[in-house]
Structure 1
Amino acid sequence: MRTHASPTFVLIPGAGGSAFYWHRLAEELTGRGREAVAVDLPGADDSAGLAEYADAVVAAIGDRTRIVLVAQSMGGFTAPLVCERVPVDLLVLLNAMVPAPGETPGDWWENTGQPQARAAYAASEGRPAGGEFDALVEFFHDVPPEVTAAVLARREPDQSGTPFEKPWPLERWPDVPTRFLQGRDDRFFPLEFQRRVVAERLGIPVDEMPGGHLVALSRPRELADRLETYLL
């Protein structure tokens, strides 16, 4: 088995499952001498649920050790399943959904009050509350234009509804050191909403940094800096 002098960052994307989401952060981390493994999930596969997503992450990890698992958004449902199967040194939830035992990802939204929190935050910024989702407004508002263009030039990843239908299978959170890092400018999962959900479900504080929901695209250097501090 290989051994690594430094941790390997394994990066789990959110809905759509595209590893490309992480390309700027991965470049930043590798430039610092770290290994970064961005995982593609089978998001478009109607036969794939959370178990198959976890399979994809475990396969990507292979025989690597000293794993720092970083999970974005919907990846918060997959990462704990991975922690039950392979040794993980640290789990970092980034602008993530935090599941409760037996909860489906489809029920998470109403259970947590996310639609109301999203609408209230929009109103506080003077935007229409409760309107149709607009990715440019809610996801890409702080992403550099050239990065947005590069992302949008790619085929938009499809996300099957299958993983939203089955209950999250764990009875409790895995016994793995866990940090929660939230972009304070996230319009989709507002900071105060996340503070409440994380306190209720994990009982840990929320760390914050500048940036919106796609912080790995908007602020990869600052995000890498924050991840590095968790290794100290």
Structure 2
Amino acid sequence: MATYVLVPGAGGDAGFWRFVEPLLRRRGHDVVAADLPAADDSAGLAEYADAVVTAIGDRRDLVLVAHSLGAFTAPLVCERVPVDLLVLVAAMVPAPGEAPGDWWANTGQVQAEREVRQAHGLDPDAPWDLGFTFLHDVPAEVAAPLAAEGWPAQSGTPFGRPWPLGAWPDVPTRFLLCQDDRLFPAEFQRRVVKERLGITPDEMPGGHLPALARPAELVEWLERYRTGVSGQ
């Protein structure tokens, strides 16, 4: 069996994986859901990687899964511990030397998201809306507390610092996009993943938060990737 290491996106909250973790454990896997110091203005990507490496400890047979902004952290972890497989889910794909804050304009995400808003009859310049962008397909009982409390705090510090790697790590990498993602629309992701990783992403239904909206389906994809690499 494997050790799944789950890296959250912006907000750094390991609770994002709260429905995925028990499903993986039922299949006999060890699971590490990492908390990142996202609210700490002194912490950047290096400190995020430190947090994941510390959480891993001496575990091996690692399948590293990163969501959204977590894809800027996960490759740094691959440089420090032996990772068998890296899976990116609805993720940002960094380029060498690119700061996360520059990624949006560099990739064309800003225009892609504007077009999604327009397609839904919304003002593309309206303030960001948690419900529209993130919670539109999350079950009501899960979405309600998130809507009431807001998204966990995320410092701007890592967005201003260049991604330090000169190339993608030499680790088998898979990408799973979400076809109804309103933050990173599907057609946008297909292009960026092909340009930056040279692979064709796989696709599942749903929005930007599959771990909350479709955890069982997400786990099926993760297991498919794992057995495809390990052969068992």
Normalised TM-score (structure 2): 0.94
Q: Distance in 1 between matches of 2:201 and 2:150?
A: 33
- In structure 2, stretches of 5+ residues that fail to align are 228-232
Is the contact made by 1:142 and 1:218 (CA closer than 8 Å) also made in structure 2?
yes
1:1-232 alignment runs, 5 A limit: 6-152=1-147, 156-232=151-227
Indicate if the aligned counterparts of 2:130 and 2:147 stay in contact, CA closer than 8 A: no
Q: What CA deviation, in whole Å up to 9, does each residue of 1:24-76 have, x standing for no partner?
A: 11122112222221110000101100000000000011010010000000001
Take 1:14 and 1:104, find their aligned partners in 2: how far apart are those partners? 15
1:5-42 residue CA offsets vs partner (Å, 9 max, x unmatched): x1111000001100011101112211222222111000
Q: Number of aligned pairs? A: 227
Contact in 1 for aligned 2:179/2:205 (Cα 8 Å):
yes
Q: What letter matches 1:59 in structure 2?
A: T
Please say which of residues 121-130 and 38-47 is displaced more in the overlay.
121-130
| Displacement after TM superposition at 1:98 (Å) | 0.4
Distance 1:155 1:189, change over 3 A: closer
Aligned mates of 1:108, 1:144 — CA distance in 2: 30
Equivalent pairs: percent with the same residue? 64
Q: Distance in 1 between matches of 2:185 and 2:150?
A: 28
Q: Distance in 2 between matches of 1:25 and 1:153?
A: 23
Q: TM-score under structure 1 normalisation?
A: 0.94
Answer with 218-227 or 27-36: which moved more: 27-36
Q: Which amino acid aligns with 2:210?
A: V
Deviation per residue, 1:191-227 (Å, 9 max, x gap): 1101111111110111000111001000000000111
Is the CA contact (8 Å cut-off) linking 1:118 and 1:130 kept in structure 2?
no
Instruction: Provide Cα deviations, 1:137-167, integer angstroms capped at 9, x if missing partner.
Output: 1100000000112444657421111101111
Counterpart in the other structure of 2:230: none
Q: CA deviation at 1:130?
A: 3.7
Supply the distance in 2 between the matched residues of 1:117 and 1:38 (Cα, whole angstroms).
31
Instruction: Confirm or deny: 8 A CA contact 2:138 2:213 kept in the other structure.
Output: yes
Moved more, 199-208 or 27-36: 27-36
DSSP 3-state at the match of 1:182:
strand
C-alpha contact 1:26 1:36 (8 A) present in aligned 2:
yes
Instruction: Give 4+ residue runs of structure 1 displaced > 3 Å after superposition.
Output: 125-128, 150-156
CA contact 2:21–2:31 (8 Å) conserved in 1: yes
Query: Unaligned 5+ residue runs, structure 1?
Result: 1-5
